[in-house]
Amino acid sequence: MLLAGVSFGFGLALGLIIAAVLFLYRRVWLAGLRNRLALDGITADEVAWFKSELTSAERSALAEIEQSNPLLADAYLETLAMRLTATRIMARSRKELMKVERRINQARLLNSDESAALQADLAADREKIHKLRNQADQYLHSAKTRLQTIEATASRKLNQAEIDLMMQRLGNARDQLPLVLEMAQMEQRALEEVTSSSLESKGS
């Protein structure tokens, strides 16, 4: 029993280590795959690989729209792809801007003619990155606005469909109510006739 307990504990620990290694490898592999897919821009078909980068509100809205309106779901996926691409460009440009700023500070410490030319080149790079960030920021705001527009449109259509269904049920209930009352009145009259006829037969 002691050997069995030791072997069980050893096997459990080994299994947990292997599971952790596989989990970390899968995370690294998926991150590398997402980076490769995002090199030429994210498409609507590739959004499924980037669901971990979506917000909880975006994931729930996408699931709801896919069930209610497939056409709007396609537009929502396209807009999500644009939002993800713009967000990645913003993050990458932020990192590149930090690198350029660090290189400019290092070039200033050299204090030579060559460093002056280097600083000019780095300043031009910084200007390009700023323009790229501004463009990506505009695309990001446009994508977020479009996402909200699609969500509002889908919600409006869904609510209208629910209202139409409830109104139809109310109309059916209203139309059936006189028929139910008439049937109840007919049953009451039939019961009264049977009662009166039974009383007459007893009296005779």
Tell whether the model's pLDDT for residue 105 goes beyond 70. yes
Helix axes 113-203, 70-110, angle to 10 degrees: 160
Between 2 and 51, the higher pLDDT residue = 51
In tens, the pLDDT along 142-171 reads 999 999 988 888 877 655 555 566 656 655
Give residue 127's pLDDT band: very low, low, confident or very high (50, 70, 90): very high
Which of 36, 45, 128 lies closest to 88 in space, CA to CA?
Answer: 36
Q: What is the pLDDT of residue 24?
A: 86
Q: What is the pLDDT of residue 58?
A: 92
**Cβ–Cβ under 8 Å, residues 136 and 94:** no
Tell whether the model's pLDDT for residue 15 goes beyond 80. yes
**Cβ–Cβ under 8 Å, residues 192 and 102:** no
How far is Cα 181 from Cα 32, in angstroms, rounded to an integer?
71
Domain ranges of the chain: 41-165
Least confident of 28-42, 44-58, 94-108: 28-42
Q: What is the pLDDT of residue 169?
A: 65
Taking residues 64-89, what's their average pLDDT? Answer: 88
Q: What is the pLDDT of residue 29?
A: 79
Q: What is the pLDDT of residue 112?
A: 72
Give residue 80's pLDDT band: very low, low, confident or very high (50, 70, 90): very high
Which of 54, 77, 43 lies closest to 146 in space, CA to CA?
Answer: 77
Number of H helices, E strands in the chain: 4, 0
- 127, exposed or middle or buried, with CB in 10 Å at 0-12, 13-18, 19+? exposed
Max mean pLDDT range (20-24, 55-59, 69-73) = 55-59
